[in-house]
Structure 1
Amino acid sequence: MRILDGFGQRIGLAMAGKNPWGTGGDGSSGSGDGDAPKGDKGSGDKGNGPRNPWLPPGSGGGDGRRGPNIEDIFKNRGPEGPRRKGGGGGGGPNFRFPQRPGGKSWFPVAVVGIIALGLLATSVHLIGPQQQAVVKTLGNYTRTLDSGLKFSAPFPIETVDVEDVQGVRAVRIPGNNNQVKLILTGDQNLVDLSYIVRWNIKDLADYKFRVVDPVETVNEAAEAAMRAAVAEKQLDETFSGQGRAAIEQDVRERMQRTLDSYQAGIRVLGVEIEKADPPGQVVDAFRDVQVAEQNADAARNQAQGYAQQVLAQAQGEAEAFDKVYEQYRLAPEVTRQRLYYETMERVLSKTDKTIVEATGVTPYLPLPEIRRRAQQTEGPATTVTAPGGQ
């Protein structure tokens, strides 16, 4: 812009009838007939001869009439204005990449080395002992890699996705312990259940490409299996330990069949019921029912104990009678007489007795009165204390 401004000033001088190339050495103005400017033979005198209009004002040295060089103009100019060389301030140091001994730059070699290192890093894979990897070639599944040091084509030709296939993964249903999960039992009751499903990967290729969301698939299969298993049980069975074990085993088998039908590549390791409670709205009534059932069980157990006692006593008497009958068959008269005496002794020992003789000195003997007097006289002295103070 500075060059164009100087050129415009000279055009204005020429139109005004003045010499656009400046004054001569004697101070007179140049001729107005447009004679060519005469150069100054002295190299340092600014007043001798015309000045080159293409040079910036104040520039000295060299031939003042040097022809313009467009490359020099644009080389010394930038978007921010003319560049200044030397001196303090201005631009910072220019970075240059180191050169090889032959004079060529190391930059292409560095770029090739970085690319080769990246390709090598995407081609070598160290797979852990509990891991497997699936290989996709241009986005399509091709093979599965086991544990160890494995190789593949570099990215993006082949991509390798590593997964832990032996680690145990757990899913809690429902996810929040405070959340209620009501399930209908076989006797039309509701039970609040929370449980944990533990699983791992059986087939990595199916796990990766057969189902969209494996975790969500496990959740849905577990909930469907649990509802189906509980619907076949009574409410009391869901609270007992044996009933819970049966439900857990049934749920695991149902889940495995469902996931295998989906080809999900998932192995169900186990199901554990954490909580089995009645709904919160009927907890008090349910506790009352449980107390009544416990009382009924206690009364039932007491009755069964009494029945067993009576039965054992009856069986003992029957065995004794069988033994007596065997003796009776051997000696009927003797056995009959012995039974008569034992029966009379057992009966008469519990009744008051009076002995009456038809002919004799003592026709009447009041045995009950004699016994009563003896007891009143000797009762306090003949008191016997049973063992234990009773």
Structure 2
Amino acid sequence: IEDPVKWMFNVESRETTIRDISQSVMNKLVGDLPILAVMTSQRTSIEVEAQDNMQNLFDAFGLGVRVVTVKLQNIVPPVGQVQDAFEDVNKAIQDMNRLINEGKQNYNKIIPSARGEANQIIQIAEGYASERVNQATGDVARFNSVREVYEKSKNITRTRLYIEAMESIINPTSEGSVTLVDKNLANFLPIQMLEGGTK
């Protein structure tokens, strides 16, 4: 109460007048807004604008009161079809949020695993590439060393390479060894079979 004289003598039914003005201002402000806007994004602006509008009307009627604050509490949609529709919307929003959270959980579970597998495959590929490059580099180095020796003494190197190649083919201790048989040889006795081999 800002002015006791105005409060006591200017208006007869003060409480009724305050309630009616408050309801009229609030109905005007929220009448054209969606219920979700009233409950969320527009709530603060409605409270500030309602306080200003109520104060202007109270001053115009000479009530002698000062509005300290306006707070919107227990905002509920009208009973009936509006409330049912609002509850359906709330359920849909909750379902949407639940599905979004489930999607994020699946993302957080699957994507890191897939990235780990991808990194593993990349590392294996890089290792294989390094192995092949090193092997090729070694083969080139060996070839170059043989070539250098060959250029210094061609006949000796050629003979040595031939002998090494023939040893690798004919060596009886290596797997898949080759037995050379003269096609003109008559009455050939397979001694390898008699020595206990099953080949």
For this structure pair, what is the TM-score category when the shorter chain's length is used for normalisation? 0.3 to 0.5
- Name which one, 1 or 2, has greater alpha-carbon Rg: 1
What TM-score, normalized by structure 1, do the two folds share? 0.26
Higher helix share: 2
Higher RCO, 1 vs 2 (CA within 8 Å, ≥6 residues apart): 2
